Amino acid sequence: MKTVLITGVAGFVGPYAAAEFAKTGARVVGFDRNESAVCHTYCGDIRDTLVVERAFQDAQPDVVLHLAGFSSVAESWKRPEETFAINVEGTRNILEAARSLSKPSRILVVSSGELYLETFDRGAVETDPIGGDSPYAKSRVEQERLVQEATDLEIVVARAFNHTGPTQPPPFVIPYFASEIVKIERGEHEPILRVGNLAPERDFSDVRDVVRAYRLLLENGKSHEMYNVCSSIPRKISDVLEMMLGLSTTTITVESDPALFRPVDCPIRFGDPSKIQNETGWRPVIPFEQTVADVLAYWRNTK
């Protein structure tokens, strides 16, 4: 039986990933600052070298899914040093811990589509230039540099574009809209939804499709290759909001709030998933409309 170690297992994506790998019969363990309800968890901070190494030595994983990271672009502007410490130094610790094992592990490092420079007329492909217009994106660029230097390890990189689903917390945009709409439906505050910039277009996938992509990449992805995990469909944030408002029976007024705008916001960012599709057979199967409805239903059922 293979042992799969998932870092960041107590976060948004972690439980979905644990369930995906458990379906294959694997033994799933996790590493996180918080205990997870879905599997045995080694508790600690990914920035703590010794704690990470002890977890790896005890678990002896065959496969590592490295999810742990600072994931909010908006918050990265406020906490750039923490963003780099977690995403870069944390990844360095994962790679060093993998090197300490008596048998080699296969590792999937989750990066981001945010590191692509602007591509307006087509979806970004893996060979496009990368850079960064936020501390978050820059930290992912540096994270990938560490991967490329680790030629002694078997590592695959997933460049995941925006993904959402039930249990994702605000301030990510879709759960933010959903949670605010539900508060208004319950009469918990006035029927005004304050929003940031609604003009950008983003590539959204369902987290349940995304974790399947991660499993397939660990099974079939090529070492030291990058793979976009995305839908290839750019959606305006305003259209997403309109879809969610259409699922509510309450009349809600939308107001722009300058405090919710980012310092820099790329007008459009979407990816081309041809590479992962051709090499692993992965396709997203959950319609976006279902994803949005499921997120709203989750918040309606959350007290």
Pairing of strands 234-236, 201-203: antiparallel
How far is 2 from 26, CA to CA, in rounded Å?
A: 5
Sign of CA dihedral 78, 80, 85, 91: positive
pTM of the model: 0.96
Residue indicated by tokens 């094992």: 101
Each residue's pLDDT tens digit, 164-201: 999 999 989 999 999 999 999 999 999 999 999 999 99
Partners of 228 in beta bridges: 159
pLDDT by position in tens, the chain (length 303): 799 999 999 999 999 999 999 999 999 999 999 999 999 999 999 999 999 999 999 999 999 999 999 998 889 999 999 999 999 999 999 999 999 999 999 999 999 999 998 777 899 999 999 998 899 999 999 999 999 999 999 999 999 999 999 999 998 999 999 999 999 999 999 999 999 999 999 999 999 999 999 999 999 999 999 999 999 999 999 999 999 999 998 999 999 998 888 877 888 999 999 999 999 999 999 999 999 999 999 999 997
Contact by Cβ (8 Å): 291, 206: yes
How far is 28 from 36, CA to CA, in rounded Å?
A: 11
Contact by Cβ (8 Å): 200, 237: yes
How far is 287 from 299, CA to CA, in rounded Å?
A: 19
Contact by Cβ (8 Å): 16, 207: yes
The structural architecture, per CATH, of the domain 3-165+204-232+269-285 is: 3-Layer(aba) Sandwich (3.40)
Contact by Cβ (8 Å): 42, 74: no
Each residue's pLDDT tens digit, 232-272: 999 999 999 999 999 998 999 999 998 888 877 888 999 99
How far is 238 from 59, CA to CA, in rounded Å?
A: 45
